Structure 1
Amino acid sequence: MKRIMLVCSAGMSTSLLVTKMEKAAADQGIETDIFAVSASEADDKIEDKANPIDVLLLGPQVRFMKGQFEQKLAGTNVPLDIIDMKDYGMMNGEAVLQTAINLIEDKDK
């Protein structure tokens, strides 16, 4: 099970991307828990030790917060990246899912 957290400004626009990523994961037989939260809700999810996340992806509209999230994730093994603006704009769930999986696999090497 791969837990993928997407962070955007309100958590709503990214919910469509979550749906597309879930479909891509199902098509590939990958077991995932993908969810989107607003930037203000992200801290609770990061600190949730019972359900740790495997990767955190920031929506392009909150890319300016990357430094803040790097500090919040310091000392964890959780990779962080910004969703490609083109993939986000086209709601390319397959590409964003692949980015997340690559980040998870890279951290496990």
Structure 2
Amino acid sequence: MKIVLCCAGGFSTTMLMDSMKKTVHESTKLKDEDFKFVAVPVDILQSEAEDCDVLVVGPQIAHRMDYIHPIIDPYKIPHVIVDKDTYGKMDGATVLKMALIARKKADMSK
């Protein structure tokens, strides 16, 4: 599963991505090889959209969903917008759970 994390510049999202990777690595149910994480600035999201399974949007760019939807909607990519508190805590476990739920809901609606 490819999870793309998208924010304004990429630095804080890279920290969140590392927290999500750690969650997968320490899990007894999830496997590292089943996940690919990519952190990108919103301006280059298009380059990662084609094979993206779920998009994680940082709270600092939630106002840019009008720019993001035309990129992800043709691929039917589910997305989650991380709230500022979860993002501020760099709570990778919660964000990973949100992403997995979004993907599962998208799969069930097919």
Q: Distance in 2 between matches of 1:41 and 1:70?
A: 14
Q: Does 1:40 align with 2:22?
A: no
Cross-structure match for 1:59 = 58
Structure 1 portions without partners, runs of 5+: none
Q: For residue 10 of structure 1, report the CA deviation from its aligned partner.
A: 0.5
Q: What are the superposed Cα offsets for residues 55-95 of structure 1, whole Å, 9 maximum, x if unpaired?
A: 11111110111122112122222112211211100000000
Aligned length: 104
> Which secondary structure state, in structure 1, belongs to the residue aligned with residue 74 of structure 2?
coil
Please, what TM-score do these two structures have when normalized by structure 1?
0.89
Cross-structure match for 2:91 = 92
Q: Distance in 2 between matches of 1:42 and 1:72?
A: 8
In terms of fraction of residues, the more helix-rich structure is 2
Please, what TM-score do these two structures have when normalized by structure 2?
0.88
Q: Distance in 1 between matches of 2:73 and 2:38?
A: 21
Identity %: 28
Structure 2 portions without partners, runs of 5+: none
**Runs (4+) off by over 3 Å:** none
Q: Does 1:70 align with 2:73?
A: no
Could you say what the CA RMSD is over the residues aligned between the two structures, in angstroms? Answer: 1.1
